[in-house]
Chains A and B, each alone.
Chain A
Amino acid sequence: MNTLDPRQLLRDSVLELRGDGKAGGGLVLAFQSLANLLLRDPEAQVQEWPFFSSARRGANIRSFLRVSRRAVTSACEVTRPTVVLLMDEVAARTVDFAHGVPSGGTFVLNTRHTPEAAARHFKLSGRVFTISGDDVGTKYLKAPIGNVSAYVAMAAAIGGMDHDDVVDSFLKMLKKRRIPDLVLGRNRDALLASFDAVRTGTFDCAEASDHQAAPFAGYGELPVGCQTPLRLSEKNRTADFAPSGFRLRFEDPNDACTGCAHCITNCPEGIIRFVPDDQIGVKVLGADVSQFCKLCQECVAVCPENLFKSAPFEEHWQEEEVPVS
């Protein structure tokens, strides 16, 4: 397997990058900063743009970036990127962040896992960069915001970047957003700490059939009008909109449920599980959180016995949750 050199592609043709993450996770800022960084080359031309829906914070989003020393005219989505970023592991439950990447491409992941573990798990062939960006964010920004580190890892993956330029470019984008100086300082610290936190390796774990994008198969039969099943949670897997690292938990060890049914009537997803009960009418057993709970916390708010809570949840890599085609 020959690895593809992003710098050479940038010089000789066009370097295409793609990122997957979740709305509110800083993916767009990371890509904007990267575009800004690449434009420090006076000959470079870039196009950087996001793809997102009207869905709320937590929905999957994508970012695209093309850079070249020639005019970049092509405006279509990047489908065969040389460099990809997985900003949020939860996003990979529903998309294959590596699809279309040629063998020898570059994969950047915001994860606690090692490059080797990531390569084996996601079946990656090429250069793999990992960084535990959420931990860096927690330490310096007081929140698990991984985009600062992911951006640094992307710059490292492209190569040839001056550290000062990397820092300046990101901070410049923050300044455009009128971020207070105190927060700018924290971001600077996080950026500087990220340079030494990037881990890398080259692996060949993909089969030829892995990460092939399925051909477009038409729109299928859509119902008359627009009240389509597309808007229903059963199709949208709204659990993926929940904040990363948290899940709804139901605990009733003392049989405290009063059968008031407030949780049942207030849940917008209809996922509260209950059974008829002779004494109290209905007895709540919990909620199906695997697919459709977006952690709106309505049940948490209305339960008079405080039986629901939003609890930390460690993302485990279970093969059935990772749809790598």
Chain B
Amino acid sequence: MSATDGTKAPMRHFTTPSGEIYPDVIDLEPVRAAHHALYESREEMTADGNTAAAIATLQMWRCVIYPGFPITPSTKWIETVAARIASDPTTKKRVKLMEAEHAVADYMVGAASACRDLIFPTATSSVGLDHMTETTRSLGASGLGNVMIIDVYRATANFPLCIEGDPSDTLAHRDDGFIQIAARGKQQIYDTVIQAPVLGMHPEILTPTMPGYYGIKDSHRNARLVVEPDAEVNTWMDKWLAPCALPGLLNGDTAFGNCVTSRHFQGFKVSQKRRYERVLEFLPRIGASFENHFGRPGLAFFDAVGFEDPSVDVAVVSMGPDFGTFEAVREGWGRKNSLSTAGIAMRLLSPFPRDAVRERLKKAKVVLVVNQAHHMGRGHLTLDVVDALSDLSSPPKVVGAFAGMGGADVSEPTWERMLDQAKHALEGHPVPPYAVFHEGMTL
């Protein structure tokens, strides 16, 4: 910016709590203009979960750099991104293959701090996420809502190693400070990846996101997928994404993080947690906006089935694609046992939507919570549900169950056996705090 007399005019700038911001340093319009649309119109295809997630990130004009490091079962995400980018020699998008997952997370810190209005996605799994831990905890507190780690769930309760889908990786990272959203099915995966950064980058939230889906069971499962045109995806996202009011490393003088004394540490944490809890307020709004724009259900705290009458005999709480098998057996088991059943499949894992879960389950007689991640107690979900119901004067009895750990098949007989356990509790019999089920048996 130059004045007519040849002297340099002072650069436009203003003050924020994070330092001076120079809004004219970064011009995003060339970035937007350089985006090559992947899809010009709505298309229907078959795709697996990794492909669905990759397409969603490729369609965002705000995604220009894709750092990553391959690990089963998330590898096909970066393979798909790389193949699509390589097939377009004029695209400005780039894949950055890093040395390891820790390097990926560090790279995202730098890139996302440099420009807070671009989105930096990657995908990982299991020990890949563990390798990132030092940095994910920093990221969680960073205010960098433009970082999105897509976690393709894989058992991480090492050892033994296992490449199949179990959410123990994401659930082990619940205190990293990321917004963790579970998706099931190709369409929900695609839609969730589009919505997640909108939630994370909201000026009242500014928290990185970790959308996820089950490895193998969803990452490698093919089904129908409706892909929206890039223009619509970006129009909807841009409607929500105002320029970030905070400076980045390029357009301001903020740093990623400082060392503070005890006089301030707690204050920062209170602030972080307040932003985090605003997710409970904005997620439904963003989900409703998505549904209004695209005609499909948007983000929600959970998927619910069978709650036409909330006073159900048995309510199930679970997550992931195996909930679909419960949906398939629900009515048959209910008829056979003359009991009403309903269930919720959790979508928002962290922050846990405590009030919404309590409202949905408060009239159930028994709540069966099915955990699929190794836990040294009653299970992550069980503890959350027990906590959510604890305010009720006469809460439903909670039956804890584990099934599908390490991606084990959760068959129809297994679901029926778990429901039998809930029925047992409903009849007033004592049940253990938790039990493990497989192939129709209690182990």
Which residues of chain A have a CB within 8 Å of any CB of chain B?
32, 35-36, 39, 45-51, 53-54, 72-77, 79, 178, 215-216, 218-219, 225-226, 228
Give bound CA distance, A49 to B328, whole Å. Answer: 18
Q: Which B residues touch A73, using CB under 8 A?
A: 324-325, 327-328
Of B161, B221, B410, the residue contacting A76 (CB under 8 A) is B410
Q: A46-B223, A76-B412 are in contact. List 12 more A-B contacts (CB 8 A).
A: A35-B222, A47-B221, A74-B324, A74-B327, A74-B328, A75-B221, A75-B323, A77-B409, A215-B439, A218-B441, A225-B159, A226-B160
B48, B224, B412 interface centre (most CB from chain A within 10 Å): B224
CB proximity to A under 8 Å, residues B317-343: 321-325, 327-328
CB contacts (< 8 Å) of A35 on chain B: these are 46, 222-223
Query: How many A-B contacts if CB must be within 8 Å?
Result: 77
Minimal beta-carbon separation of A98 from chain B (angstroms): 19
CA distance A228 to B327 in the complex (A): 37
Within 8 A of A (CB), among B58-114: 72, 83, 87
Bound CA span A36–B438, Å? 32
Q: Check B46 against A46 for contact (C-beta < 8 Å).
A: yes
Select the residue from B160, B222, B223 with max chain A CB neighbours within 10 A.
B222
Is the beta-carbon distance between A75 and B322 smaller than 8 angstroms?
Answer: yes
In the assembly, what is the distance between CA of A79 and CA of B443, in Å?
Answer: 21
Partner among B48, B224, B323, B325 whose Cβ is within 8 Å of the Cβ of A39: B224
Of chain B, the residue at the smallest CB distance from A74 is B328
How far is B324's CA from A215's CA once the two chains are assembled, in angstroms?
23
B321 engages A75 (CB within 8 Å): yes
**In the complex, chain B residues whose CB is within 8 Å of the CB of A76:** 322, 325, 409-412, 414
A53 and B163 contact, CB distance less than 8 A: yes
Closest to B438 in A: A216
Q: Report which of A49, A79, A178 forms a contact with B222, defined as CB distance below 8 A.
A: A49
B216 within 8 Å of A (CB atoms): yes
Q: How far apart are B304's CB and chain A's nearest CB, in angstroms? A: 14
Q: How many residues of B contact A (CB 8 A)?
A: 33
Q: Are A79 and B223 in contact (CB under 8 A)?
A: no
Report Cα–Cα, A46/B223, bound state, in Å. Answer: 5
Least CB distance, B162 to chain A, in whole angstroms: 8
Question: Would you call B217 an interface residue if the criterion is a C-beta within 8 Å of the partner chain's C-beta atoms?
Answer: yes
B130 shortest CB reach to chain A, Å? 16
Question: Which residue of A has the minimal Cβ distance to B83?
Answer: A178
Selected from A45, A51, A77, A228, the residue in CB contact (under 8 A) with B160 is: A228
CB of A54 within 8 A of CB of B217, answer no
Note all chain B residues with C-beta closer than 8 A to A218.
441, 443
Q: B440: nearest residue on chain A (CB-CB)? A: A216
Q: How far is the CA of A76 from the CA of B324 in the complex (A)?
A: 9
How distant is the Cα of A225 from the Cα of B441 in the complex, in angstroms? 24
Q: Name the residue in A73, A225, A228 with the highest tally of chain B Cβ atoms < 10 Å from its Cβ.
A: A73
Complex Cα spacing A226 to B411, Å: 26
| A225 CB to nearest B CB, Å | 7
Q: Given the complex, which residues of A lie within 8 Å of B223, measured CB to CB?
A: 35, 45-48, 72
Residues of A contacting B441 with CB < 8 Å?
Answer: 216, 218
Q: How far is A218 from B439 in the complex, measured between Cα atoms in Å?
A: 9
27 contacting pairs across A/B (C-beta < 8 A): A32-B222, A35-B46, A35-B222, A35-B223, A46-B46, A46-B222, A48-B46, A49-B216, A49-B217, A51-B216, A53-B163, A54-B161, A54-B163, A73-B327, A75-B321, A75-B322, A75-B324, A75-B325, A76-B322, A76-B411, A77-B409, A79-B411, A216-B441, A218-B441, A218-B443, A226-B160, A228-B160
User: Within B398-443, which residues are at the interface with A (CB < 8 Å)?
Assistant: 409-412, 414, 438-441, 443
Please determine whether B83 and A49 come into contact, CB atoms closer than 8 angstroms: no
Given known contacts A49-B217, A74-B412, A178-B83, is B439 in contact with A32 (CB within 8 Å)? no
Distance of A300 Cα from B170 Cα, bound (Å): 45
The 6 A-B pairs at the shortest CB distance, nearest first, are namely A216-B439, A226-B159, A73-B324, A49-B221, A75-B321, A74-B328
Query: Is B220 part of the contact surface with A, judged by Cβ < 8 Å?
Result: yes
Nearest-Cβ distance from residue B85 to partner chain A, whole angstroms = 13
For residue A232, give the distance in angstroms from its CB to the closest CB of chain B.
Answer: 13
Q: Which residues of A contact B439 (CB under 8 A)?
A: 215-216
Give bound CA distance, A225 to B327, whole Å. 36
What's the minimum C-beta distance from B86 to chain A, rounded to whole angstroms? 9
What is the CB-to-nearest-CB distance from A34 to chain B, in angstroms, rounded to a whole number? 10
Knowing A73-B327, A216-B438, A216-B439 are in contact, say whether A50-B217 is a contact too (CB < 8 A): no
Please give me the residue from chain B that is nearest to A215 by CB atom.
B439
**Across the interface, which residues of A come within 8 angstroms of B163, CB to CB?**
53-54
Q: Give Cα A219–Cα B443 distance, bound, in whole angstroms.
A: 9
Q: How far, in Å, is A231 (CB) from chain B's closest CB?
A: 8
The CA of A54 and the CA of B155, in the complex, are separated in Å by: 13
CA distance A199 to B163 in the complex (A): 38
Cα–Cα, bound, A48→B46 (Å):
10
Residues of A within 8 A of B412 (CB): 74, 76
Give Cα A215 to B441, complex, Å.
10
Q: Which of B212-260 contact A (CB under 8 A)?
A: 216-217, 220-224
- State A305–B172 Cα separation when bound (angstroms): 55
Q: Which of chain A's residues has its CB closest to B412's CB?
A: A76
Query: Which B residues between 193 and 227 are near A, CB-CB below 8 angstroms?
Result: 216-217, 220-224
Distance (whole angstroms) from the CB of B150 to the closest CB of chain A: 19
Q: From residue 287 to 341 of chain B, which have CB atoms closer than 8 A to chain A?
A: 321-325, 327-328
A323→B323 CA distance, assembly (Å): 34
- Interface pair B410/A46, CB less than 8 Å apart: no
CA distance A252 to B428 in the complex (A): 75
- Chain B residues lying within 8 Å of A54, measured Cβ to Cβ, are 72, 161, 163
Given that A46-B46, A48-B223, A79-B411 are known contacts, is A74 also in contact with B325, CB under 8 Å in the complex? Answer: yes
Closest Cβ–Cβ distance, residue A161 to chain B (whole Å): 16
Specify which chain A residues have a CB less than 8 angstroms from the CB of B411 in the assembled complex. Answer: 76-77, 79
Q: What is the distance, in angstroms, from B73's C-beta to the closest C-beta of chain A?
A: 10
Q: Which residue of B lies closest to A77 (CB)?
A: B409
**Nearest chain A residue, comparing its CB with the CB of B214:** A75
**In the complex, what residues of B have CB within 8 A of residue A225's CB?**
159
* Least distance between A277 CB and chain B CB atoms (Å): 41
Q: Which residue of B lies closest to A14 (CB)?
A: B328
Chain B residues with Cβ below 8 Å from A47 are 221-223
- Give A78 Cβ to nearest chain B Cβ, in Å: 10
Per the bound structure, the CA–CA distance linking A226 and B162 in Å amounts to 11
* CA A39 to CA B440, docked complex, whole Å: 32
Q: CA of A50 to CA of B220 in the docked complex: distance in angstroms?
A: 7
**Closest CB of chain A to B116's CB: distance in Å?**
35
* Shortest CB distance B363–A (Å): 25
Bound CA–CA A130/B406 (angstroms): 36
CA gap between A79 and B413 in the complex, in Å: 11
Instruction: Report the Cα distance A72→B321, complex, angstroms.
Output: 11
Bound-state Cα–Cα, A32 to B439, Å: 27
Complex CA distance for A74 and B48, rounded to whole angstroms: 16
CA distance A155 to B204 in the complex (A): 54
